[in-house]
Amino acid sequence: MKNRLKELRAARDWTQADLADRLDVSRQTINAIETGRYDPSLPLAFKLAAVFDDSIESIFIPAHDQSQPRSRSQP
Amino acid sequence: MPKSPMEHKSRSDIAREHAARRDAAPAVALLVVTQGSLIWLDPSRPTNPAEIVWALSPLAAISWLVWGQIRAVGRADELQRLQQLQALSIGFAVLIVLLTAIGLLHAAEIGEIAQQTQIALIAGVLAWVGASAVLSARSR
C-alpha cells in the first residue's frame, strides 16, 4: 500500500530511526512500510496517525484509490 | 559527516541486539565448553549415570539458546515476528522433508540413520538461519 510516510517524515526532518523510536518499532519496519513492502497493523497505523497528527486515510493510499488523499488541514 | 552504522538503527533496535547478545553469549560459552569436552575427550559407550549426563551436557546450552530465541521473538516488533515465523516455517519444512527422506532410506536399508539425522537437523537449522537473514535483508 502506498503511503506518505517519507514525505511526512521529511517535513519534520526525522530519520527513519527517529520515527522508529517514537513508535517503538525497528527502523527496518519503518523502511518496509515506506517502501510498500509491509502494511502495518491497525494499532501501529493508529500510532502513526497520532505521531503525525493526521488521519490514517490521509497517510495510507489504498491501491484502488487513484485520487490524492486530503489531510486534515485541507478544507 | 557520514552516518555511523549505529545511527541507522533505532534505540529499540540497539536494545534488542544487546538483549539478544546477553541471552546468547553465556549459552554459546557453555556450548563450547560442553561440546568441546566431548570432542576432546571423546567418551564412548557411557557406563555410568555421570557419563550419560556428560554426554547429554550440550543439551543445557542448546536449551538456553532456544529460550533466548523465544525471548527474542517476544521482544520483536510486528514485522520481525512475521519474518521469524516465515523463516521458522522454511527451516521446519526443510527438516520435515529430510526426516521423511531418512525414514524412506532407512526402510530401504540405505545409509547410516544417525549420521543422516544429524545432517537433517543441521540442514533445517541452516535453512532457518538463512531464510531469516534473507528476509531481514530485504527490508533493510
Tell me the DSSP string of A14-69: --HHHHHHHHTS-HHHHHHHHTTS-PPPHHHHHHHHHHTTS-HHHHEE-TT--SPP
Q: Is B136 on the interface with A (CB under 8 A)?
A: yes
Mutation target among B82, B138, B139 for the A interface, most CBs of A within 10 A: B139
- Mean pLDDT in residue range A7-31: 94
The distance of B140 to chain A (nearest Cα, Å) reads: 5
**Cβ–Cβ gap A28/B8 under 8 Å:** no
> What does the pLDDT profile of chain B (140 residues) look like in tens digits?
444 444 578 888 899 989 999 999 999 999 888 888 888 877 677 778 888 888 888 899 989 988 999 999 999 999 999 999 999 999 999 999 999 999 999 999 988 888 888 899 899 999 999 999 999 888 77
Mutation target among B7, B77, B81 for the A interface, most CBs of A within 10 A: B77
pTM: 0.77
pLDDT at B103: 92
User: Who contacts B55 (Cβ-Cβ below 8 Å, separation ≥6)?
Assistant: B38, B43, B46
Work out the pLDDT band at A18, boundaries 50, 70, 90.
very high
Predicted ipTM beyond 0.85:
no
**What is the crossing angle of helices B58-75 and B11-41, to 10°?**
170
Q: Is B78 on the interface with A (CB under 8 A)?
A: yes
Q: Is A32 on the interface with B (CB under 8 A)?
A: yes
Res A69 pLDDT > 70: no
DSSP state of A2: E
pLDDT at A49: 96
C-alpha cell at B62: 542448546
Closest CA to A56 of A41, A46, A66, A68: A46
Give A41's contacts in chain B (Cβ within 8 Å): 78
B140 in helix, strand or coil? coil
